[in-house]
């Protein structure tokens, strides 16, 4: 994809697109080839240019934005709302892991405390059913 195509897809002026592409290429995040006199980049260049433009618009300095892209080059979405949802989802996943660990620890503590396992507690809870069965 050449600079004009990337500019059109990212909806940025040609000069801004070219500047961003050169910065990304200098940072070794993108590579280009010269084909028929045009500089050509891979399709993911559009995503990087959009991310760089968004972060720049939000007030992040270009070197910092490039470093952020370097740290998370394959972000699932460049949409800020999607990013917020992804962040919330990750927080929920961590909470679930924490709760699961707590439940397992409680179960282990109960087993160690009583010296009995799951079947002991099941039999204690439903003892009348088991007594009828054992005596019948």
76 falls within a domain: no
Burial of 110 (0-12, 13-18, 19+ CB in 10 A): middle
Taking the alpha carbons at both ends of the chain, their separation in whole angstroms is 81
Average pLDDT over every residue of 111-125: 66
Residues 14, 3: contact at Cβ < 8 Å? yes
97 falls within a domain: yes
- Domain boundaries, position 123: 81-135
pLDDT at position 42, please? 92
CA distances, 24 to each of 31, 48, 57, 81, 132 (Å):
8, 8, 17, 25, 76
User: Can you tell me the distance from the alpha carbon of 22 to that of 29, in angstroms, rounded to the nearest whole number?
Assistant: 10
Residues 117, 111: contact at Cβ < 8 Å? yes
Q: What is the mean pLDDT of the chain?
A: 83
31 falls within a domain: yes
State how far Cα 21 lies from the chain centre.
24
State how far Cα 20 lies from the chain centre.
24
Q: What is the pTM of this model?
A: 0.55
Give residue-wise pLDDT tens across range 121-132: 677 777 766 565
pLDDT at position 44, please? 86
Give residue-wise pLDDT tens across range 28-81: 999 999 999 899 999 889 999 999 998 999 898 999 999 988 887 776 555 667
18 falls within a domain: yes
Number of domains in the chain: 2
């Amino acid at each position: 994809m050449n600079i004009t195509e990337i500019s059109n897809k990212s909806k940025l002026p040609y000069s801004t697109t070219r500047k961003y592409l050169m910065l990304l290429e200098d940072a070794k995040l993108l590579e280009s080839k010269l084909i028929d006199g045009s500089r050509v980049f891979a399709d993911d260049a559009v995503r990087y240019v959009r991310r760089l433009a968004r972060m720049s618009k939000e007030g992040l300095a270009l070197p910092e934005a490039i470093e952020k892209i370097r740290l998370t080059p394959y972000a699932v979405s460049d949409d800020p709302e999607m990013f917020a949802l992804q962040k919330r989802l990750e927080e929920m996943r961590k909470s679930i892991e924490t709760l699961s660990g707590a439940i397992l620890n409680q179960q282990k503590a109960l087993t160690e405390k009583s010296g009995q396992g799951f079947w002991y507690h099941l039999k204690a809870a439903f003892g009348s059913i088991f007594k009828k069965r054992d005596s019948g």
